[in-house]
């Protein structure tokens, strides 16, 4: 995805998730209106995740990001297998065929090559992951928790509650029982505070071990870990 700007030093807001999500929604609404309305006109769990990788060195300021010379970034998008995955893929193909898509008041974007990335099947019950976007864990829909040694038990309990809440609409009670043994163990993590849709969101990033049933770990690898994954959080890679 390449940004186009008339400015000599193009910038985007530090809170860039609304711009990314608006493009994703634009593509989906032009490919499958029914699915778009199901996801965004109802209180439906967003079981997908995305992250952004900037190709060049960028400068992170307090309120904005100054883009590098190429003005190119990679949008990573992941969803569980099935029909929805195909519709989202087609939505990115539709976006690729458009020119000068509006990103914000200052910038338009052009989508480049759309690539499918082959996943490695997880067969172990303990896997090392790293974050591609920070993990958000939320207690009682109000308090964001980042991992620390002092709150390890509470963090894991809340993480399991969050994952059950996301999965309960689409998965059986038997499947949800696998979440009961899900466990997050840090390797090297830190607290971060991200801007997201006008909110300051406390989150966790870094490397960690995730223990659980391999079937569940494969799903989490696809749809993201924690909450707010549909807004650009919780994308992980092994």
- pLDDT tens, position by position, for the chain (238 residues)? 888 876 667 899 999 999 999 999 999 999 999 999 999 998 888 999 999 998 888 898 888 999 988 899 999 999 997 889 999 999 999 999 998 899 988 899 999 999 999 889 999 999 999 999 999 999 987 799 999 999 999 999 999 999 999 999 999 999 999 999 999 999 999 999 999 998 899 999 999 999 999 999 999 999 999 999 999 999 999 9
Pair 188, 219 in one domain: yes
Pair 105, 152 in one domain: no
Q: Tell whether 116 is covered by a domain.
A: no
Q: Is residue 114 within 8 Å of 89, Cβ to Cβ?
A: yes
Pair 29, 103 in one domain: yes
Q: Identify the pLDDT of residue 150.
A: 95
Which of 110, 141, 164 represents a domain boundary (last residue)?
110
Q: Can you give the residue range of the structural domain that contains 176?
A: 126-237
Pair 99, 162 in one domain: no
Pair 216, 179 in one domain: yes
Q: Tell whether 117 is covered by a domain.
A: no
Q: Tell whether 105 is covered by a domain.
A: yes
Q: Which of 92, 90, 124 is nearest to 213 (CA)?
A: 124
Q: How far, in Å, CA of 123 to CA of 1, rounded? A: 33
Q: Tell whether 138 is covered by a domain.
A: yes
Q: Tell whether 118 is covered by a domain.
A: no
Q: How far, in Å, CA of 16 to CA of 232, rounded? A: 10
Pair 184, 213 in one domain: yes
Pair 147, 97 in one domain: no
Which of 110, 139, 160 represents a domain boundary (last residue)?
110
CATH number at residue 36: 3.30.70.1890
Q: Tell whether 120 is covered by a domain.
A: no
* Structural domains in the chain (count): 2
Q: Tell whether 121 is covered by a domain.
A: no
Q: Tell whether 119 is covered by a domain.
A: no
Which of 81, 110, 139 represents a domain boundary (last residue)?
110
Q: Is residue 231 within 8 Å of 196, Cβ to Cβ?
A: yes
Q: Identify the pLDDT of residue 1.
A: 82
CATH number at residue 161: 3.30.70.1900
Pair 88, 8 in one domain: yes
What is this structure's pTM? 0.93
Tell me how long the chain is: 238
Instruction: Look at residue 148 and give its three-state secondary structure.
Output: coil
Pair 106, 163 in one domain: no
Pair 84, 154 in one domain: no
Pair 70, 101 in one domain: yes
């Amino acid at each position: 995805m390449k940004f186009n700007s008339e400015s000599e030093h193009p910038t985007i807001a530090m809170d860039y998730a609304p711009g990314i999500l608006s493009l994703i929604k634009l593509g989906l609404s032009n490919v499958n209106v029914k699915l778009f309305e199901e996801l965004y006109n109802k209180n439906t769990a967003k079981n997908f995740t995305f992250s952004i990788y900037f190709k060049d060195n960028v400068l992170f300021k307090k309120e904005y990001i100054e883009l590098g010379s190429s003005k190119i970034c990679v949008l990573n998008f992941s969803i569980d297998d099935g029909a929805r995955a195909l519709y989202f893929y087609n939505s990115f193909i539709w976006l690729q065929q458009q020119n000068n898509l509006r990103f914000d008041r200052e910038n338009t974007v052009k989508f480049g090559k759309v690539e499918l990335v082959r996943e490695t099947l997880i067969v172990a019950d303990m896997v090392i992951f790293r974050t591609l976007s920070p993990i958000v864990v939320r207690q009682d829909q109000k308090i964001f928790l980042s991992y620390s040694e002092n709150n390890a038990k509470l963090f894991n309990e809340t993480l399991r509650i969050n994952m059950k809440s996301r999965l309960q609409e689409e998965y059986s009670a038997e499947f949800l029982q696998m979440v009961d043994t899900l466990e997050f163990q840090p390797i090297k993590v830190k607290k971060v505070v991200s801007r997201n849709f006008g909110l300051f969101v406390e989150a966790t990033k870094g490397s960690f071990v995730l223990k659980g049933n391999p079937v569940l770990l494969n799903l989490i690898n696809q749809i993201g870990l924690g909450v707010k994954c549909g807004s650009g959080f919780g994308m992980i890679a092994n």
